[in-house]
Amino acid sequence: MIKQLFLAFPLAMLVACGGGSSPEHDKMMAEHTAMLAADSANKAATDEMKQATQRLLDTWWTGKTDGLDEIVAENFTTHMSMPGVTSTGIQQLKDMIAMSTAAFTDSKAEDLRLTTEGDRVIAHYRWKGKNTGAMMEGMPATNLPVDVNCVDILRFENGKIVEHWGYMEEMKMMEQLGMMGGAEDPAKK
């Protein structure tokens, strides 16, 4: 008998305290469920944007542009074009990748950091490579290594990259390649 009372007491308390379903409770639970679903969808979209960014960087280093249209929109725009590249859209990106991989081998990114904010991914990394091909007319290969910091900002629409802004330590790269004078070596004074 004591055991039955012991089991019945929590049930009686639940009913007495209004622990059953109510419109307010149902509304709160529905809002909570919707928030969890939105958070989950946002996390999935963020992960997809980061994966597409990683894939684009891998494509840049390898020069293998097959499947690029899966992650980059046809109307892609960059605000950091390379001299000599006159094409537009995704073809411009493919031409820039071809030019870069022809000029630099052993390219890789180190210390990659990917951050998302809304429809953008910010990639910050250290780029290392070796200049084994001409960068453009009048700039022959130096066979020297480069080691510079880069930042790329990619904007996404409908799951694809549509816009790019970028920065790299171009002056530092040109100094490393011996194409531009750097700070004077104090030992030579």
CATH number of 42-181: 3.10.450.50
Tell me the pLDDT tens digit for each residue of 53-63.
Answer: 999 999 999 99
Q: Which residue has the higher pLDDT, 100 or 182?
A: 100
Q: Which residues pair with 164 in a beta bridge?
A: 78, 154
Matching residue, tokens 């130096």: 142
Full-model pTM: 0.76
For the chain, give every domain's residue range.
Answer: 42-181
Tell me the pLDDT tens digit for each residue of 90-145.
Answer: 999 999 999 999 999 999 999 899 999 999 999 999 999 999 999 878 889 999 99
Q: At what angle do helices 89-103 and 23-62 cross, to 10 degrees?
A: 50
Q: Does residue 21 surpass a pLDDT of 90?
A: no
